[in-house]
Amino acid sequence: MKRAADDLGVLLCAAPIGAAASAAFDGARLREDFPILRRTVHGKPLVYLDNAATSQKPQCVIDCEARYYCELNANIHRGVHSLSQQATDAYEAARDTVRRFINAARREEIVFVRGTTEAINLVAASYGQRLKPGDEILITEMEHHSNIVPWQLLCERSGAVLRVAPIDEAGELMLDGFEHRLNARTRLVAVTHVSNALGTVNAVKRIIDLAHAKGIAVLIDGAQAAPHIKIDVQTLDCDFYAFSSHKLYGPTGVGVLYGKAALLEAMPPYQGGGDMIRQVTFAKTTFNDLPYKFEAGTPHIAGVVGLGAAIDYVSALGLDAIAAHEHELLAHATEQARAVCGLRLIGTASDKSSILSFVIDGVHPHDVGTILDDEGIAVRTGHHCAMPVMEHFHIPATVRASFALYNTRAEVDALFRAVRKAQRMFVDGRSA
Ligand SMILES: *Cc1c(COP(=O)(O)O)cnc(C)c1O
């Protein structure tokens, strides 16, 4: 059916206005796109430096989701009525947006899920069915729990063995140790693109080439990479790539699993239900084509549409410009951190994303976090869902500041003023 140009489904995902169109990257100006950044915490302006946990949402994403509910809400892939068709168009347009964003060859290779966690669980449950006792899965010591636990569960079910490639004192993967653990029994390699606890950017292309040389499939956990690094799944040649919308300025509850069509084709369904079937009888059910075979039930339609708007926003700014800005902030923060005596950086890899993890002698990270919160500064304190990383460095937790496109140098300065205040209070016993 032909649609009018002023169709709501088309307008809904229209590219964002304002800042995104401006030529020069202006962090301070871009802040205006994020309404939450206007609020205060304990009477101080919010300094949001917990972007690796989740990023804030620009107005265009919020508007896009609201407009979906105000103007098009219907279930998708079901009705012949106009609303259902327009909702389907908006949902499928977001799939095309994701395909372009990561340069997948085909739209069928984009599966919408709840987030990185579900994407990895999908692969473990479905691809994992081919694993036999004695087969091996290789991960690294710097993985997020969501790229550890699904494999442990799979190992329990299948009798496969989980092997772990070590990291060094800088928090870099030891490539020789990794290569050493690839063998004839390895069935899958699952590695994070960027460590959420350390900021380390892994040489994923090299990792993928090493695994492929032995005929081993590779899953990349891209949760921390998607907001910062231009991803090209065809150049990487990864077999699976997973990321979450909410760390990419999009809504919570949505994520993406990219999988090579031939692999997804050969994999059994993950969940059964509506939308994933072709024909159901009590004797036998046949399954729908890709990607619908892996999208059982009503998905988070509004969230998917919102993710499309978030990708449009980020793409209009340019990931390279965003990364350059964030690297500048990271360099500034690293320099300030090095000037604080008693502060130890955790994660000093030569290639790092905009994450600064640290500990301070004599002050528990949670106490640092509390003092920072009093100043309106949001950082993450804890093990960052990467307990093995904490164990590696013999620490219980770190303070983690993570930067996004809207952060400024002034915010980095505020962070270190507050860090010094915490140090004065706890170490020197002086009140600030
Ligand atoms: C956040 C994160 C995950 C999990 O993502 P969810 O959105 O919570 O599913 C997995 N891996 C890394 C590296 C992460 O940072």
Confidence at residue 26, expressed as pLDDT on a 0 to 100 scale: 80
Mutating to test ligand 1, I would choose from 112, 221, 380 the residue with most ligand atoms within 8 A of its C-beta, which is 221
| Residue 129 pLDDT > 60 | yes
Q: Is the dihedral of CA 210, 213, 218, 223 positive or negative?
A: positive
Please indicate whether residue 199, judged by its CB atom, sits closer than 6 Å to ligand 1: no
Beta strands in 222-368 (DSSP E): 240-244, 255-259, 277-280, 285-287, 343-345, 355-360
pLDDT tens per residue across span 211-244: 999 999 999 999 999 999 999 999 999 999 999 9
Residues 253 and 72 sit within 8 Å (Cβ to Cβ): no
pLDDT tens per residue across span 276-321: 999 999 999 999 999 999 999 999 999 999 999 999 999 999 999 9
Confidence at residue 60, expressed as pLDDT on a 0 to 100 scale: 98
Please indicate whether residue 120, judged by its CB atom, sits closer than 6 Å to ligand 1: no
Distance CA 406, CA 26 (A): 8
Residue from 372, 349, 386 nearest 422 by CA: 372
Distance CA 370, CA 137 (A): 39
Residues 255 and 314 sit within 8 Å (Cβ to Cβ): no
Residue with tokens 């994933």: 276
Nearest CA to ligand 1 atom 14: 223
Find the 258 Cα to ligand 1 centroid distance in Å.
15
Please indicate whether residue 223, judged by its CB atom, sits closer than 6 Å to ligand 1: yes
What pLDDT band is residue 24 in, cutting at 50, 70 and 90?
A: low
The domains found in the chain, sorted by start residue, are 82-315 (3.40.640.10), 319-423 (3.90.1150.10)
- The amino acid at residue 250 is G
Confidence at residue 19, expressed as pLDDT on a 0 to 100 scale: 42
Pairing of strands 161-165, 377-378: unpaired
What pLDDT band is residue 14 in, cutting at 50, 70 and 90?
A: low
Question: In the chain, what's the furthest Cα-to-Cα distance?
Answer: 76
Confidence at residue 13, expressed as pLDDT on a 0 to 100 scale: 53
| Residue 94 pLDDT > 60 | yes
Q: Which residues are catalytic?
A: 385
| Residue 399 pLDDT > 90 | yes
What pLDDT band is residue 22 in, cutting at 50, 70 and 90?
A: very low
Q: Average pLDDT for residues 366-383, to the nearest whole number?
A: 97
Find the 9 Cα to ligand 1 centroid distance in Å.
30
Find the 246 Cα to ligand 1 centroid distance in Å.
10
Residues 60 and 30 sit within 8 Å (Cβ to Cβ): no
Structure tokens at 74: 């219907």
| Residue 18 pLDDT > 90 | no
Q: Which atom of ligand 1 is nearest to the CA of 252?
A: 7
pLDDT above 70 coverage of the chain, percent: 94
Please indicate whether residue 200, judged by its CB atom, sits closer than 6 Å to ligand 1: no
pLDDT tens per residue across span 137-160: 999 999 999 999 999 999 999 999
Confidence at residue 1, expressed as pLDDT on a 0 to 100 scale: 35
Find the 133 Cα to ligand 1 centroid distance in Å.
28
Please indicate whether residue 51, judged by its CB atom, sits closer than 6 Å to ligand 1: no
- The amino acid at residue 101 is F
Mutating to test ligand 1, I would choose from 117, 147, 173 the residue with most ligand atoms within 8 A of its C-beta, which is 117
Confidence at residue 17, expressed as pLDDT on a 0 to 100 scale: 43
Distance CA 353, CA 125 (A): 30
Please report, for residues 151, 206, 389, 391, the alpha-carbon distance to residue 175 in angstroms, rounded to integers and kept in the order given. Answer: 21, 9, 17, 20
Q: Average pLDDT for residues 409-422, to the nearest whole number?
A: 97
Please indicate whether residue 115, judged by its CB atom, sits closer than 6 Å to ligand 1: yes
Nearest CA to ligand 1 atom 5: 116
* CA end-to-end span of the chain: 68
Please indicate whether residue 116, judged by its CB atom, sits closer than 6 Å to ligand 1: yes
Please indicate whether residue 144, judged by its CB atom, sits closer than 6 Å to ligand 1: yes
Residue from 155, 113, 384 nearest 240 by CA: 113
Distance CA 237, CA 218 (A): 9
Supply the pTM of this predicted model: 0.95
